[in-house]
Amino acid sequence: MMACGFMFKGKLRYLERLYYRFPFRTITVPSDHIEGSSPPSVFIGREGYPRVHVGPLVPPMQGDTAIMDTPERWIGNKTQGEIIDFRLTLIRGKEPVNIKDRSRMISLLQEIALAKKSVEIDAQFKKKPRGRFVHEEMQPFGPSAPLKEMKVDAAKFVPHMEKAYYDTDLLSRDAVITLYEKGVFFSAIQKAFSTGAFGLEENRKLVPTRWSITAVDDMLGLHLLEDVKQQPTINEYRVYETEHLQNKFMILLAPTHWQYETMEAFFPQIIGDKLEIFGDWEPHSGKRGYAQIGGCYYSARFAIAEKLAEERRQAGAVVFRECYEGYVPLGVWNVRQCMRDALQQKPTIFDSMLSALNHINSRMRIKMQTWIRRSTMLRNMFTQKKLTAFLK
């Protein structure tokens, strides 16, 4: 796995450089006891699966803290520094459980994840929380420590999620789709799904946070594409664009049957000492196996499927993403929300692939020849003669 999930030594070197270059203000916890309002937020680890560490994320403050774990409200409203600062304020409590446990801790986590608003939590730790967590596919958080005891105030559930929680004959996939169609935020659905709050009663189990994010992106994307693939194609070439948090996205929609590719370019000093470009794609029949670039692939695909389903149209889609120096890994929500933001903008319309690519070439730092050499879809969509003419 690479790129969005770049799992090699370069990632570690990059994170070390980040700590040195940026004034991360990880909160200092003065004692082993805190009282605070969870956004609501929970974290399910994956190390040691099926026995994993789980617990709430709680800031040492009370009141409405929902903004700390609602990515849908960040793009265009919060700076990279603001997001990092309040994420590193969240303190993680940990307790080891089996993913199929029916323990008090699991019940409390489900209560937190299903809550309509911030939840008051009193947490006693076995030692003072310390450290911080930054990952390329998940949102960062601050210090952590094993839990000794936790008390959670009773909270009202989000009505639609409460109904799905008590429906023990409803498949988890159907619960996720229904909640999305009811307008429940992706982030809220994912948290509840992660705590095993949905599905047939005998099949309910915890899903590590990292896996649950991709699972929900994948389920929703594939559900939307079932209908999209039956719709007429668009009639023109469209280019959408947005730039946030040291990322630039450009999206090409072409008048073809559904096919999809996403490419990510990381500039020097991010994951290595040179420009790195990664990508993956799928034909009309769909993706086989897990995407090489990790969770970002599914987040971007979901956002495009969402746009096409809204219009009841079909298209081929190519995503170009540039990550500039100063980029901080904040989780795949960044891709999902940037894509959504771009697709809400008015596109630039072209009558040919060549003119659309020339426009993209003029708006990005990396030249189109480089993207084409890395791409599968673009090379497939061009004849060799046309491609040679373009490269000249």
Domain spans, the chain: 31-207, 237-391
**CA-wise closest residue to 111 among 69, 190, 31, 56:** 56
For the chain, residues with pLDDT lower than 70 are 1-26, 135-137, 382-392
Q: Is 66 exposed, middle or buried (0-12, 13-18, 19+ CB in 10 A)?
A: middle
**From the CB of residue 85, how many other CB atoms can be counted at a distance below 10 Å?**
18
Asked if 193 contacts 212 with a C-beta cutoff of 8 angstroms, the reply is: yes
User: For residue 22, what pLDDT is reported?
Assistant: 59
User: For residue 136, what pLDDT is reported?
Assistant: 64
Q: Look up residue 261 and give its two tokens.
A: 């590719």
Report pTM: 0.93
User: For residue 7, what pLDDT is reported?
Assistant: 42
User: For residue 27, what pLDDT is reported?
Assistant: 79
User: For residue 367, what pLDDT is reported?
Assistant: 96
Q: How far apart are CA 185 and CA 196, in angstroms?
A: 17
User: For residue 325, what pLDDT is reported?
Assistant: 87
Residue carrying the six token digits 């617990």 = 55
Q: How far apart are CA 336 and CA 95, in angstroms?
A: 30
